[in-house]
Structure formats: structure tokens, C-alpha cells
């Protein structure tokens, strides 16, 4: 039952091998069109931009119209005995314009609204960077899983050959049954690893599908022997400084501090007088034998209000706003520290990754030489079967580590730019050039 199941897993994992391989930029464009998280951020941006319009409305005039139409029914006395019905209609229509002249709370609310709109733009810019990171991570996770599967299958082929050789040598009496058992154990282990690699590949492809909204086809892999560029500038301090000032999370936190400062002023405005310009036009109509007619009236003037006492509510709100401003400043400092820490980790990750790649490339060459030497020694009888199997495992383990080190180094380079607030779609092009199209 293992062979049919294995065939199904292989078919599922490599379903689109005959189609044109998609590169990183193509997958990223799919994500822009279909990623639900990015679409949500884009809608939040549109909603946030309306804050400025809403805040400005508090400074502009308001015009309203009101009116009523009433039917009146009553009786009037002609003398002490006789009464006469009195039915009539009256109505009032009024149009009023109010223009704020001095409302400090409205002015501060408008400034807050503009800051909130800018904060929503910073949040969206961060979302744009996040989608680049998520797509790249999911893309390279799939490539890592594919490399692991390819390496495991190559190890399986080599182990199968070694098992067959051990069985032949045992049959002719040149080796013991121990060699056969060791080769069989190694083969069983690599079969189990192949199932795990197939499952991991499906999981990683599903994760990429969640982002791009479709079943991913074949992905373009890294070209053999690619050279990954070092970060520029090549020192840590400029990246940390950029992260502390330009990171979009830090930018949003700065804007939140300004909003909190404006909120203090807006709450203090509760102690201030207000002044409005008011103009209205009224038209009253009435029908009836004794009170029929039309009356019109136009008026313009100033309306003011001076708060005297409100139960200490405004004073309490001012204290609350001061505390919230202190919280916003603390959050800003936390954001700066987090951005700087992310930049440091990413910078060190790139540089250590480059060194690791170089060391693993040398280790791969050495592992290949060691495997060939052990195979030759096995043939002439100076090495045993387990030596060859160990050399094979060492080579394939080194190849897996090398592949992952390259992907991790590339991702750390993207994270470094994201921490510094400079990651853009164009930064995918150099990475895309490293792929085998």
C-alpha cells in the first residue's frame, strides 16, 4: 500500500511540473490581487482617509431646514347659547445657517483627523511591506520543501543502490548480514523521511495558496551557485538609525503621540467659550376667517456660550488625556526599540548567513570527496557499508543546510530593509534575477 500512496503524494506535490514556472515577482502580483489581508489593509486606508473630511466638517457651515404643518379644530361662542366651529391651518418653514467662528474643540478635532489619516497611510505602507515579506517567505518555504524532497529522493536512490550491493555481497559471502541490515535500516529511514518531505511540501504550498488565492504552480528555483549581495551600507549603525526614524511602525507611533497631544487641547477647550454666526429665514402661513395670512422674517446675528461649571467632567477628561499622551510616548519608545532590534537581528542574520553559505559550499565539496573516497574504499575492502551510508547522509544533510542558508540570507536582507522602512516592490527584482526562469 505504500507505493500507491507515495505515487499520489508525488503527483499532488508536483502537479504542475509541465506548466511554465512562476517567479517571485509574478507570485507577488498574484498576492496583490488576491491576498485577503492586503485587501483588508487597503480598505482600512480608504476608510482612514475619510477622517480628514469628517474633521474639516466641524469648521464648515451647516445648513438645515425645518417646518411643520398643523390643522386646528375648535369652537367659538357667538352668544351665550350659540357656538360656531373654527377650523384653520397654520404652517412654519425655517431655513437656518450656522457658521462656527470660534470653537477650539472643532479646530483641534480637525488637526487630529488629519493626523489620523496620515497614521492610516503609515499602517497601509507597513501592510505593503508585510505582503512582500509574507510572499517571499512562503515562496522560499516552498523552494526549501522542494529541495528537501529532491535531496531525500536522491538519498533514497543512493541508499537503494547501497542496499542492493550489500545483498549481493552477502549472497556471495564477501560481507556479513550486518551490512545488509544497516543498509536496510538506512533505506527504511529515508523512505520515512520522503513521506515527511512530501507532506511538508504540501503544507508549504497550501500556505502560499492562502496568500495568492490560487493553487501555486511550479516555482522558479534559485540558480546553481548564485552569489547573494551584501547589505549596503555594510555597517550596522546606519540601518539602526534608519529603523528608529523611518520604520513605519515608528512613524505611526509618532503620529499617535501628536494625536494624543491634540486630544489634551481638545478636552481643555471645554472650558472655553464658543461663538457662531447664525442666519435664518422663517415663513409662517395660516388660513382661517380671523387669522389668515403669511408672515416672513429674516434674521442674522451671533450666538455665544460660556461654560461655567460641569461637575469637574472636563478636568477629569484633561487628566485622562494627559495620561494617554504619556502612554503614547511610551509606545513610541517601545516601537523604536523594537525596530532597532529587528534591524540588528536582520543585519547580523544577513552577514552570518553569507558566511554560513560560504562555509557550507566548501563543506559540500568536501562531503562529495569524502563520499567518493568511502565508495572507493568500500569497493576495495578498506571501508564498510556503514561508512558509505554515513558519508551519503553527511552530503545530503549539507546540501539541505546550504539550500536553507541561502533562502534565510535572502529573507534577512528583505527584513532588514523592512525594518529600515525602505522595502519596496522594486527590491524583489534583484532576487528575481537569481531565479532560474
Buried b (16+ CB within 10 A) or exposed e, 403-419: bbbbbbbbbbbbbbbbb
pLDDT of residue 83: 53
In the predicted model, is pLDDT for residue 5 greater than 60?
A: no
**Which of the pair, 325 or 74, is modelled with greater confidence?**
325
pLDDT in tens, 17-38: 445 688 999 999 999 999 999 9
Q: Running DSSP on this structure, what letter comes out for residue 20?
A: P
Q: Any idea which architecture 62-102+273-306 has in CATH?
A: Single Sheet (2.20)
Residues 366, 356: Cα–Cα separation, whole Å: 15
Residue 92 CB-density burial (10 A; 0-12 exposed, 13-18 middle, 19+ buried): middle
In the predicted model, is pLDDT for residue 291 greater than 80?
A: no
pLDDT in tens, 349-366: 999 999 999 999 999 999
Average the pLDDT over 47-54 and give the result. Answer: 95
pLDDT of residue 8: 45
CB 181 within 8 A of CB 170: no
∠ CA 377-379-383, rounded to 5°: 40
Question: Which SS3 state, helix, strand or coil, does residue 283 take?
Answer: strand
**Which of the pair, 304 or 175, is modelled with greater confidence?**
304
Percentage of the chain modeled with pLDDT above 70: 91
Percentage of the chain modeled with pLDDT above 90: 68
Question: Which SS3 state, helix, strand or coil, does residue 33 take?
Answer: helix
Q: Is 213 left (phi over 0), alpha (psi -120 to 50) or beta?
A: left
Give the confidence band of 50 by pLDDT, cuts at 50, 70, 90: very high
Question: Which SS3 state, helix, strand or coil, does residue 403 take?
Answer: helix
Neighbouring-strand partners of residue 68: 92
The whole model's pTM is what?
Answer: 0.85
Give the confidence band of 16 by pLDDT, cuts at 50, 70, 90: very low
Residues 320, 337: Cα–Cα separation, whole Å: 26
Average the pLDDT over 405-433 and give the result. Answer: 95
CB 412 within 8 A of CB 353: yes
Residues 107, 91: Cα–Cα separation, whole Å: 38
Among 192, 197, 179, 191, smallest CA distance to 389 is for: 179
Residues 324, 320: Cα–Cα separation, whole Å: 6
Give the confidence band of 130 by pLDDT, cuts at 50, 70, 90: very high
Sequence-ordered list of residues with C-beta below 8 angstroms from that of 317, at least 6 positions apart, any chain = 267, 270
Give the confidence band of 343 by pLDDT, cuts at 50, 70, 90: very high
Q: Is the dihedral of CA 374, 378, 379, 385 positive or negative?
A: negative
For the chain, the structural domain boundaries read 2-34+103-271+310-432, 62-102+273-306
Among 335, 301, 355, 275, smallest CA distance to 123 is for: 335
In the predicted model, is pLDDT for residue 281 greater than 60?
A: yes
Cα pseudo-dihedral 77, 83, 85, 88, rounded to 10: -10
DSSP 200-267: HHHHHHHHHHHHHSS---PBPPBPTT--PPPPSS-SHHHHHHHHHHH-HHHHHHHHHHHHHHHHHHHH
Residue 304 CB-density burial (10 A; 0-12 exposed, 13-18 middle, 19+ buried): exposed
Residue 44: phi and psi, rounded to 5, are: -65, -35
pLDDT of residue 366: 93
Residue 221: phi and psi, rounded to 5, are: -85, 175
Among 126, 133, 143, smallest CA distance to 44 is for: 126
CB 131 within 8 A of CB 37: yes
Average the pLDDT over 57-65 and give the result. Answer: 96
Tell me the pLDDT of the chain averaged across its residues: 89
Average the pLDDT over 383-411 and give the result. Answer: 88
Residues 308, 76: Cα–Cα separation, whole Å: 49
**Which of the pair, 418 or 20, is modelled with greater confidence?**
418
pLDDT of residue 353: 95
CATH code at 2-34+103-271+310-432: 1.20.1600.10
Residues 396, 148: Cα–Cα separation, whole Å: 9
Residues 231, 271: Cα–Cα separation, whole Å: 55
Our measurement of the distance from residue 423's CA atom to the centroid of its chain's CA atoms, rounded to an integer in Å, reads: 13
CB 420 within 8 A of CB 343: yes
pLDDT in tens, 222-265: 988 888 989 999 999 999 999 999 999 999 999 999 999 999 99
Neighbours of 270 (CB within 10 A): 15
CB 436 within 8 A of CB 29: no
**Which of the pair, 364 or 171, is modelled with greater confidence?**
364
Residues 354, 228: Cα–Cα separation, whole Å: 7
Question: Which SS3 state, helix, strand or coil, does residue 154 take?
Answer: helix
Question: Which SS3 state, helix, strand or coil, does residue 133 take?
Answer: helix
In the predicted model, is pLDDT for residue 400 greater than 60?
A: yes
Neighbouring-strand partners of residue 279: 97, 300
**Which of the pair, 12 or 203, is modelled with greater confidence?**
203
Amino acid at each position: 500500500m505504500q507505493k500507491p500512496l507515495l505515487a499520489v503524494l508525488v503527483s499532488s506535490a508536483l502537479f504542475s511540473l509541465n506548466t511554465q514556472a512562476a517567479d517571485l515577482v509574478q507570485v507577488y502580483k498574484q498576492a496583490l490581487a488576491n491576498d485577503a489581508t492586503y485587501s483588508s489593509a487597503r480598505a482600512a486606508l480608504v476608510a482612514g482617509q475619510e477622517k480628514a473630511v469628517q474633521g474639516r466638517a466641524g469648521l464648515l457651515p451647516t445648513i438645515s431646514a425645518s417646518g411643520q404643518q398643523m390643522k386646528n379644530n375648535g369652537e367659538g361662542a357667538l352668544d351665550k347659547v350659540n357656538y360656531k366651529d373654527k377650523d384653520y391651518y397654520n404652517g412654519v418653514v425655517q431655513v437656518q445657517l450656522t457658521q462656527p467662528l470660534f470653537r477650539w474643540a472643532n479646530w483641534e478635532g480637525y488637526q487630529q483627523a488629519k493626523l489620523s489619516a496620515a497614521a492610516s497611510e503609515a499602517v497601509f505602507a507597513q501592510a505593503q511591506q508585510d505582503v512582500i515579506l509574507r510572499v517571499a517567505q512562503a515562496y522560499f518555504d516552498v523552494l526549501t520543501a522542494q529541495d528537501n524532497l529532491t535531496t531525500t529522493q536522491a538519498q533514497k536512490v543512493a541508499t537503494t543502490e547501497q542496499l542492493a550491493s550489500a545483498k549481493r555481497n552477502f549472497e556471495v559471502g564477501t560481507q556479513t548480514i550486518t551490512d545488509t541490515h544497516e543498509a536496510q535500516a538506512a533505506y527504511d529511514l529515508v523512505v520515512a523521511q520522503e513521506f515527511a518531505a512530501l507532506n511538508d511540501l504540501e503544507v508549504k504550498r497550501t500556505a502560499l495558496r492562502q496568500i495568492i488565492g490560487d493553487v501555486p504552480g511550479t516555482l522558479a528555483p534559485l540558480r546553481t551557485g548564485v552569489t547573494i549581495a551584501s547589505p549596503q551600507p555594510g555597517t550596522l549603525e546606519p540601518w539602526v538609525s534608519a529603523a528608529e526614524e523611518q520604520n513605519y511602525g515608528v512613524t505611526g507611533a509618532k503620529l499617535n503621540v501628536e494625536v494624543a497631544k491634540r486630544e489634551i487641547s481638545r478636552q481643555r477647550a471645554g472650558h472655553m467659550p464658543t461663538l457662531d454666526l447664525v442666519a435664518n429665514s422663517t415663513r409662517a402661513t395660516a388660513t382661517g376667517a380671523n387669522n389668515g395670512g403669511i408672515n416672513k422674517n429674516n434674521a442674522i446675528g451671533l450666538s455665544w456660550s460660556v461654560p461655567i461649571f460641569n461637575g469637574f467632567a472636563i478636568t477629569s477628561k484633561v487628566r485622562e488625556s494627559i495620561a494617554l499622551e504619556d502612554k503614547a510616548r511610551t509606545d513610541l519608545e517601545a516601537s523604536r526599540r523594537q525596530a532597532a532590534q529587528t534591524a540588528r537581528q536582520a543585519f547580523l542574520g544577513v552577514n552570518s548567513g553569507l558566511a554560513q553559505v560560504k562555509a557550507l559550499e566548501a563543506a559540500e565539496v568536501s562531503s562529495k570527496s569524502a563520499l567518493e573516497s568511502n565508495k572507493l574504499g568500500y569497493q576495495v575492502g578498506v571501508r564498510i557499508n556503514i561508512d558509505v551510508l554515513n558519508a551519503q547522509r553527511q552530503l545530503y544533510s549539507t546540501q539541505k543546510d546550504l539550500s536553507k542558508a541561502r533562502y534565510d540570507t535572502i529573507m534577512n536582507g528583505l527584513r532588514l530593509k523592512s525594518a529600515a522602512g525602505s522595502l519596496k516592490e522594486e527590491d524583489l527584482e534583484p532576487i528575481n534575477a537569481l531565479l532560474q526562469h
